[in-house]
């Protein structure tokens, strides 16, 4: 239901995404794991039609997001929980969303109950919400239209342990009902507890993907994650140094040696990719 196909995104001279390919199936939760700055949010912005790909594609239900009919009924997204208007109450935020979608007010009450924002909390202005409450509100807004696909960027940030447990249960319930869930996070343990499939990204490249059992077959998932991301960091550092050297070296033997070093750095990244499941 979600497909990234050879997705590349370049900002000036920075390659934020490099040939990213993976899919998210209906009825499953896919954890999109990587350190901060790995490219997770960039990939989700392209998927949601907020940024254009340099090459490749990101599609939902077989089409780019911008080409979907009534997208809020097909795809629910939460990319930034802090983006809500601070002067509106939580109930007002959801009510405006429901009006735009032509939904009855009863749906607002259902969603508030679903995300645990009832009574006084729903009548409080968003500017006085904690980050965890904003996350709940953002998830509720994403679910207003009962979408087939749910895309969440770091939804556990700001949630207390009870909130994280609630989020796990909600995502498993949605997947059980056939929803395709893409969950971006840097919190390895939380993703491990809820995901069916995991994609590891580092420096804009997919380093590995597969089930938890497949990725942890030579040790724990944490060990695999750290091995992959450390190797990617090393390869990136080597490649960056080599490119700088190539830019300053004169033509000839020195330049050829630097180019070879650059190729070596890419080979190291490629060896990390070899762990794809």
pLDDT at 254: 41
How does residue 167 score in pLDDT terms, banded at 50, 70 and 90?
Answer: very high
Q: What is the pTM of this model?
A: 0.84
Q: What is the DSSP string of 29-97?
A: EEEEE--TTSSHHHHHHHHTTSS--SEEEEEETTB-GGG-SSGGGTEEEES-GGGS-TTSBHHHHHHHH
pLDDT at 241: 61
Query: For the segment 185-220, what is each residue's pLDDT rounded down to a tens digit?
Result: 988 888 999 999 999 999 999 999 999 999 988 788
pLDDT at 275: 40
How does residue 257 score in pLDDT terms, banded at 50, 70 and 90?
Answer: very low
Task: Please give the average per-residue pLDDT across 60-83, as a whole number.
Answer: 95
């Amino acid at each position: 239901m979600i497909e990234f196909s050879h997705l590349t995104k370049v900002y000036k001279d920075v390659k934020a995404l490099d040939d990213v390919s993976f899919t998210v199936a209906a009825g499953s939760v896919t954890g999109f794991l990587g350190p901060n700055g790995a490219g997770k949010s960039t990939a989700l912005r392209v998927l949601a039609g907020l940024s254009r790909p340099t090459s490749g594609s990101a599609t939902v239900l077989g089409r780019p997001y911008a080409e979907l009919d009534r997208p809020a009924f097909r795809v629910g997204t939460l990319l930034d929980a802090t983006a809500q208007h601070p002067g509106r109450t939580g109930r007002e935020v959801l009510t405006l969303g429901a009006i735009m979608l032509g939904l009855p007010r009863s749906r607002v009450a259902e969603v508030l109950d679903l995300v645990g924002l009832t009574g006084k909390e729903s009548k409080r202005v968003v500017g006085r919400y904690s980050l965890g409450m904003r996350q709940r509100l953002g998830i509720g807004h994403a679910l207003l239209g009962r979408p087939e696909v749910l895309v969440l960027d770091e939804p556990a940030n700001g949630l207390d342990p009870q909130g994280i447990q609630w989020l796990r249960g909600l995502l498993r319930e949605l997947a059980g009902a056939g929803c395709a869930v893409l969950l971006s996070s840097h919190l390895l343990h939380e993703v491990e507890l809820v995901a069916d499939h995991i994609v590891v990204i580092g420096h804009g490249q997919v380093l590995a993907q597969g089930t938890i059992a497949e990725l942890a077959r030579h040790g724990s998932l944490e060990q695999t994650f750290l091995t992959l991301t450390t190797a990617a960091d090393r390869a990136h550092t080597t490649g960056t140094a080599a490119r700088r050297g190539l830019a300053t070296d004169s033509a000839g033997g020195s330049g050829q040696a630097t180019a070879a070093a650059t190729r070596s750095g890419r080979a190291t990244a490629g060896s990390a990719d070899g762990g794809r499941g």
